[in-house]
Structure 1
Amino acid sequence: MTASPSPTPAPALWVLLDATAAALQAVRAGQSGTAALDTVDASLRPGVRALLFQALRHLGRAQALRRALAPRQPPARVDALLCTALALAWNPEQAPYAPFTLVSQAVEAAKRSPATRAQAGFVNACLRRFLRERDALVAATDRDEVALWNHPAWWIARLRRDHPWQWQQILQANNAQAPMALRVSKSKSTPAQYCQALAAINMEAYPDGDSGVVLRRPLPVAQLPGFADGVVSVQDAAAQMAAPLLLQGLDARQPLRLLDACAAPGGKTAHLLEWAQALGAPWQVTALEMDASRAARIHDTLRRLRLQADVRVADAGVPADWWDGQLFDAILLDAPCTASGIVRRHPDVRWLRRESDIAQLAVLQARLLGALWPLLKPGGRLLYCTCSVFRAEGQEQVQAFLAHNTDARLAPSPGHLLPANPDKAGALGDNAAGEHDGFFYALLHKAA
């Protein structure tokens, strides 16, 4: 009889902290959190991801504490290790391990890593002082707005201007962990049925909206019932609004031409096709993505869901390169943006963005709107959306478009959906806990 293999021992905490500090250093150097985690050993990645995301959610506080402990900035890797430990340990109620354990293991990481070994004594002195004076240090950093809200100063000021009544709620929501939300394929199941399938494997969930399900705790996609068979997809509740908003009022019996102009990774394209499949509608869906590697993800998404679309690698803003001259009945433009509405899921975004990005992206959004509007049939509709809470990428962008296009009319639309504003007109139902990301939606009708 063959002996079963012994379980792989869990990695030491100092190993995880060292890898987390390396990832944080990469993010501070301008790399996305996803790219930084891709370089981490697969056996460490789940633990490092959890620690990195928590560190990023408390980085403003950690940086203020590090400055109080060491006004002169240390080398980048040493600074990253200090900020990692301080971000994880400053609040004992939220710390993943006891603060004393985090400090001792961070010091161990400093001793063992060639990148920090020479500064191990400095790391030890700073973190031991933090343990002794934690309450006084935290109280002193409370006066620092960046430490208090864990967002860059310009981001806080922009939200205060754009949303004077909700800016604090938005920042608080951004610092929380987002729930895992799913979209159930309309032709294969219902939210209620899928919740029963989850209950059968002891997973708590509840229906949310027309096709949504929210898990009480996250689950690897491979363990989701029916995931491999296309029964369900991972998609936030706010993003699930796109397909029904665009399709409402269209005659499903007609052979409609639909365009998803910035389609990767394919979630909204798939949702459009699931509606067509459920209705037995003869619709043609074209999906564009200018980056070939991201376009491959659309193919992967559609393959798993057993759906078909005309996927093209092309710039939606240059129709001469891809358009066949036939007008579309409906266009979905999920435009490139700052991603300021999905900070709960991507806590690195707030530290990677610069305020100048907003104006640059607004120019790109306006270019895409201007290029795609002539491709729409009279009487057709274009749904403009961004996963942003900044008005320059939402309300102000659409107002400028309407001022320059007299054949466009703004239909009733949700407008800005804020992650902590469940009372917003047009927000999703049963949203008392703000269970969706920040988004903007504007449905534009073209005069017949």
Structure 2
Amino acid sequence: MSRDVRAEAARIIAALLEEQGSLARLLPKAEDKVEERDRALLRELCYGSARYAPRLQLIAAKLLRRKPGDTLVSALILLGLYQLEYTRIPDHAAISATVNAARSLGLDRATGVINGVLRNALRNSEQLQRKLSGNPQFSSIHPAWLQQRIKAAWPDRASGIFRANNANPPMTLRVNTCKISRADYLQQLAETGLSAEPCPVSPVGITLVEPVSVGALPGFTEGLVSVQDESAQLAALLLNPLPGEKVLDACAAPGGKSCHLLEQQPTIELSALDIEENRLDRVRENLDRCGLSAQLICADASAPEAWWDGQQFDRILLDAPCSATGVIRRNPDIKLLRRDEDIAELARLQGEILRSSWGLLKPGGSLVYATCSVLPTENSEVVTAFIAETVDASDNTPELLNGKSWGEKQPVGIQLLPQNSGGDGFYYALLSKAE
């Protein structure tokens, strides 16, 4: 029996508020529980409520006498406010459907509160906007701690980062040039009626004018293309493996960069490592679809003694675990899941994995350190500290990539900031190990 779509959305938002999962993990299970026709609405409600949560939480706080004791009630209020503020759903329908969702969740006692808050929000919308407009969390639509960190790191660029993080992301493809040229694939898209443009830096990247389901992409199931942001595509370009080299993708899931490395240089001997077996399943699926193969290793990159065979690698890609503050537009639940205190712990882990990985690299080899963060604490500061303590490590990050300028030069490495019509926020440093 299918469930109420708003009740399912409220369950997911409540889980996010309690830090009990992510959209990527919770949504697929919930989609199976609602009618197929409601799945797009479920995604819209969950992604939208998470994207605008920092602002909606301030509105809710103004309208509530006290914080609800049940997280599901808080989730329903956020869900209702999102519908009123940011969707075309008629106001009366948004309110009544949200109240009905509360009933279907067994929250009959809370229906009066939910109804009252939503009706007051509707009545006093302009007044609330005026009262809250001076609040940086309200204007940036980012939690206060993250707004402050981004503004401190990028004072002249912060407003652009906030706008990009709050926008819907572009859909970008990576062409498998082992099977088809970018020009020929652009032609196939045009013949299918899909408008697209080549990416400015990645020689295999294409951005669609309008996103579509992967089923609408010609040759997707045959591995002609994969969905991958342009900034992420630059990892393989920067690592630039040579034929026959032994290469490690140290934090490989979901496998986009592993596939790209093999498409770029099919004769490399690639090991793809990740700490979780279910995440390696995603790597395996992507490799199989693209007709590629690699050695998959389920292990902790920071503890190589448990899995490494002693044979050093020519090149290593270390896409380190991070705050993901450069990909918020694709993962807006980061606004609810991440905390200020996480950043120092992530930086410590990143340094640990970097030091462990360095011992696996041959003298004369190259390592690309990458994150999808915009915070220097996780990026240039980690790499600067590592170089200072590592006598055989040096920064060799090029200012031009594919002959083009490609980001903001940092004390060490290059920072890419999220762009409204361009790539996600990524940091890269190409490190060389002395002979």
TM-score, scaled relative to structure 1: 0.88
Kept after mapping to 1: 8 A contact 2:246/2:314:
yes
Aligned-pair distance for 1:190? 2.4
Aligned-pair distance for 1:427? 7.9
Q: Deviations over 1:378-404 (max 9, x none)?
A: 211100001111111101001001100
Q: Which residue is 2:91 aligned to?
A: 99
Aligned-pair distance for 1:423? 6.6
Kept after mapping to 2: 8 A contact 1:198/1:225:
yes
Give distance in 1, aligned partners of 2:406 and 2:42.
32
Kept after mapping to 2: 8 A contact 1:100/1:131:
no
Q: Which residue is 1:241 aligned to?
A: 234
- 2:126 pairs with 1:135: yes
Q: Deviations over 1:55-98 (max 9, x none)?
A: 111112211111111131123222211111112322xxx42323
Structure 1 residue aligned with 2:58, among 50, 64, 87? Answer: 64
Q: Which residue is 2:17 aligned to?
A: 28
Q: Which residue is 2:82 aligned to?
A: 87
Of stretches 191-200 and 158-167 in structure 1, the one that deviates more from structure 2 is: 191-200
Summarize the Cα distance change of 1:23–1:383 in structure 2 as closer, same or farther, 3 Å threshold. same
Of stretches 347-356 and 198-207 in structure 1, the one that deviates more from structure 2 is: 198-207
Q: Deviations over 1:147-166 (max 9, x none)?
A: 22221111111111111221
Q: Superposed, which structure 2 residues align to 1:410-429 within 5 Å?
A: 410-413=395-398, 424=408
Q: Deviations over 1:9-51 (max 9, x none)?
A: xx99xx3333222211111010211233133142343321111
Kept after mapping to 2: 8 A contact 1:414/1:440:
no
Kept after mapping to 2: 8 A contact 1:229/1:305:
yes
Aligned-pair distance for 1:284? 0.9
Q: Deviations over 1:308-348 (max 9, x none)?
A: 11111122222222222222111110111111111010000
Q: Which residue is 1:399 aligned to?
A: 384
Q: AA paired with 2:273?
A: L
Q: Which residue is 1:438 aligned to?
A: 425
Give distance in 2, aligned partners of 1:356 and 1:202.
48
Q: Which residue is 2:171 aligned to?
A: 180
Give distance in 1, aligned partners of 2:10 and 2:210.
26
- 2:140 pairs with 1:149: yes
Summarize the Cα distance change of 1:27–1:283 in structure 2 as closer, same or farther, 3 Å threshold. same
Q: Superposed, which structure 2 residues align to 1:195-210 within 5 Å?
A: 195-208=186-199, 209-210=202-203
Give distance in 2, aligned partners of 1:58 and 1:128.
19
Aligned-pair distance for 1:106? 2.2
Instruction: List gaps (5 residues or longer) in structure 1.
Output: 1-10, 416-420
Q: Which residue is 1:268 aligned to?
A: 257
Q: Which residue is 1:17 aligned to?
A: 6
Kept after mapping to 1: 8 A contact 2:368/2:429:
yes
Q: AA paired with 2:246?
A: R
Of stretches 356-365 and 436-445 in structure 1, the one that deviates more from structure 2 is: 356-365
Summarize the Cα distance change of 1:433–1:328 in structure 2 as closer, same or farther, 3 Å threshold. same
Kept after mapping to 1: 8 A contact 2:325/2:374:
yes
Summarize the Cα distance change of 1:410–1:86 in structure 2 as closer, same or farther, 3 Å threshold. same
Give distance in 1, aligned partners of 2:294 and 2:311.
17
| 2:247 partner SS | strand
Kept after mapping to 1: 8 A contact 2:321/2:350:
yes
Name segments (4+ residues, structure 1) moved above 4 Å.
Answer: 425-428, 431-434
Of stretches 261-270 and 136-145 in structure 1, the one that deviates more from structure 2 is: 136-145
- 2:33 pairs with 1:38: no
Q: Which residue is 1:7 aligned to?
A: none
User: Percent identity among equivalent residues?
Assistant: 39
- 2:211 pairs with 1:221: no
| 1:245 partner SS | helix
Q: Which residue is 2:101 aligned to?
A: 109
Summarize the Cα distance change of 1:150–1:219 in structure 2 as closer, same or farther, 3 Å threshold. same
Of stretches 299-308 and 136-145 in structure 1, the one that deviates more from structure 2 is: 136-145
Aligned-pair distance for 1:178? 0.5
Kept after mapping to 2: 8 A contact 1:388/1:438:
yes
Summarize the Cα distance change of 1:37–1:116 in structure 2 as closer, same or farther, 3 Å threshold. same
Q: Which residue is 2:307 aligned to?
A: 322
Of stretches 337-346 and 145-154 in structure 1, the one that deviates more from structure 2 is: 145-154
Aligned residues: CA RMSD: 2.2
Give distance in 1, aligned partners of 2:52 and 2:238.
36
Give distance in 1, aligned partners of 2:291 and 2:407.
37
Kept after mapping to 2: 8 A contact 1:422/1:433:
no
Aligned-pair distance for 1:251? 4.4
Q: Deviations over 1:103-140 (max 9, x none)?
A: 33323433x42433222222222222222221111211
Give distance in 1, aligned partners of 2:352 and 2:374.
20
TM-score, scaled relative to structure 2: 0.90
Aligned-pair distance for 1:288? 0.9
Give distance in 1, aligned partners of 2:221 and 2:144.
43
Give distance in 2, aligned partners of 1:402 and 1:379.
15
Kept after mapping to 2: 8 A contact 1:245/1:383:
yes
Give distance in 1, aligned partners of 2:383 and 2:415.
19
Aligned-pair distance for 1:184? 0.5
Q: Deviations over 1:206-236 (max 9, x none)?
A: 1113011111222222221111111011111
- 2:63 pairs with 1:73: no
Kept after mapping to 1: 8 A contact 2:7/2:105:
no
Aligned-pair distance for 1:100? 4.0
| 2:309 partner SS | coil
Q: Which residue is 2:375 aligned to?
A: 390
Q: Which residue is 1:4 aligned to?
A: none
Give distance in 2, aligned partners of 1:128 and 1:422.
48
| 1:213 partner SS | strand
Summarize the Cα distance change of 1:292–1:170 in structure 2 as closer, same or farther, 3 Å threshold. same
Give distance in 1, aligned partners of 2:372 and 2:378.
9
Give distance in 2, aligned partners of 1:183 and 1:113.
43
Q: Which residue is 1:310 aligned to?
A: 295
